[in-house]
Amino acid sequence: APERENFQIVFVGHVDHGKSTLLGRLYADTDSLPVGHLDKVRDICAKQGKVFEYAFLFDAFLEEQEQGITIDTARTFFNWENRQYTIIDAPGHKEFLKNMISGAARAEAAVLLIDAAEGVQEQSRRHGYMLSLLGIRQVVVVVNKMDLVGYNEAAFAAVEAEYRQFLRGLHLEPQRFIPASARNGDNVAQKSAHMPWYRGATLLESLNHFVKPPQGADLPLRFPIQDVYKFDFRRILAGRVEAGELRVGDTLVFSPSNKTAVVKSIEAFNVPIPPQSVSAGRSSGFTLDEQIFVERGEIASLRECPPEVSDRFRANIFWMGKTPLQKKKKYLLRLATKEVVMELEEIIETIDASSLSPLTSKELIEKDDVAEVIIKTKTPVAFDRYSDCTPTGRFVIIAGYDICGGGIVMEPLKDEQE
Ligand code: GDP
């Protein structure tokens, strides 16, 4: 069988708006549950005199997984057409934010859930904000429990209009709003007979419409220099291809020094014939056609498509240090193989990562807070926007000798003096 492409989606919604039910429905309707699982849960419900709920299905499913192997239980998988979907259920925002910012998790798209009867809640707004903080741009909004509002088009349109306007303020433009009933299965895997006025895609079809962001070899070359070795009068630059492909004959530019040279050879150990190229994910060394001075920490790229270079940028960070992150204090920023002294120039907004509620302090960032900030580095650094290239768009902050925070680059900024 051809290998399925993996696609990661996070589901978020206010408690009780129907997330577990929706997931249960999605798994049941795509035949993704273990054989006999649906009947088993129905039986248990009958014996206990409980009304069957799709949410139980999912809860019981997770419990079973938990007993099997101790994996991250907030993740489950299902196959549909040519994809394997990894569903990241985010009950704890703190863990989710931390995992996303540290690179441990990578949601490529999000499904936001809103109860049609209850409408947009403060939590729904905070969820939108969380997605914008993480740079997740592919979003579908499910307006759930349409059965409670008589499958009424105007009720759906009102929720859509309100939430769309709110998300627009965050520069988030959802691909689609879907009127659904997770309980009854309307517009989840099957088109609803109750809502002929809705001509759009079902949730399942919408998942298939999400586009896989380019990654690995599909991105422009990024080769952060880890070490420079002198060897038989030659200089070998060593590191890892984080994105794209490195080829003999390529004209490279090194950032931030802005020096250029041509790749003369690729060096590999234990191979009889040196390779002509190396692609993303592989470590290797290479030599240049002329001796130029290049340092650890610089990023090699193709001349036509270099990274950004600046000593100021806007970023979203997660702080986990015991002492708060403060303005006017010096920290160390590590981005790819570069380490540079940094300072927090401005705190734009801070939120509590557990509750997602906004905090008032603009002077410091406490443990487990997430913040939108402006970072100033002592010397210019090469980097990318996280949305363009994750390995060179992500950094950690070091206080003393410990990694105390992580962040993603949102946007390069010009020097204030300019
Ligand atoms: P969660 O907290 O977001 O995971 O919400 P649940 O999936 O546990 O659902 C909360 C409650 O809403 C349960 O009683 C569900 O049966 C109910 N519910 C979920 N989806 C629907 C729906 O489409 N229609 C109706 N009427 N109730 C629903």
ipTM (interface pTM): 0.99
For the Cβ of 332 lying below 6 angstroms from any atom of ligand 1, the answer is no
- Higher-scoring residue by pLDDT: 53, 253: 253
For the Cβ of 145 lying below 6 angstroms from any atom of ligand 1, the answer is yes
| 148-167 residues labelled b (16+ CB within 10 A) or e (exposed) | ebebeeebbebbbeebeeeb
Residue 332, classed as helix, strand or coil, is strand
Whether the predicted pLDDT of 256 surpasses 60: yes
Do 224 and 298 contact (CB within 8 A), yes or no?
Answer: yes
Our mutation pick for probing the ligand 1 site, out of 52, 62, 183, counting the most ligand atoms within 8 A of Cβ, is 183
Query: Which pTM does this prediction carry?
Result: 0.86
Whether the predicted pLDDT of 174 surpasses 90: yes
For the Cβ of 14 lying below 6 angstroms from any atom of ligand 1, the answer is no
Read off the pLDDT band of 60 (50, 70, 90): low
What's the pLDDT tens digit per position in 184-234?
999 999 999 999 999 999 999 999 999 998 888 899 999 999 999 987 778
- Tokens for 174? 């959802």
Residues 31-37, mean pLDDT to the nearest whole number: 83
- Higher-scoring residue by pLDDT: 262, 94: 262
For the Cβ of 371 lying below 6 angstroms from any atom of ligand 1, the answer is no
Mean pLDDT across the chain: 90
Specify the ligand 1 atom closest to the Cα of 24: 7
What's the rounded Cα separation, in Å, for the pair 115 and 93?
20
The label of the residue with tokens 């985010």 reads 90
From the CA of 80, how far away is ligand 1's center (Å)? 24
| 93-102 residues labelled b (16+ CB within 10 A) or e (exposed) | bbbbbbbbbb
From the CA of 54, how far away is ligand 1's center (Å)? 9
Whether the predicted pLDDT of 319 surpasses 80: yes
Q: What pLDDT, on a 0 to 100 scale, did the predictor assign at position 66? A: 54
Whether the predicted pLDDT of 68 surpasses 50: no
Residues 165-182, mean pLDDT to the nearest whole number: 95
Q: What is the DSSP string of 178-241?
A: EE-BTTTTBTTTB--SS-TT--S--HHHHHHHSPPPP-GGGSPPBEEEEEEEEETTEEEEEEE-
Out of 149-153, 229-233, 370-374, pick the least confident. 229-233
The amino acid at residue 125 is R
Our mutation pick for probing the ligand 1 site, out of 11, 15, 19, 21, counting the most ligand atoms within 8 A of Cβ, is 21
From the CA of 217, how far away is ligand 1's center (Å)? 42
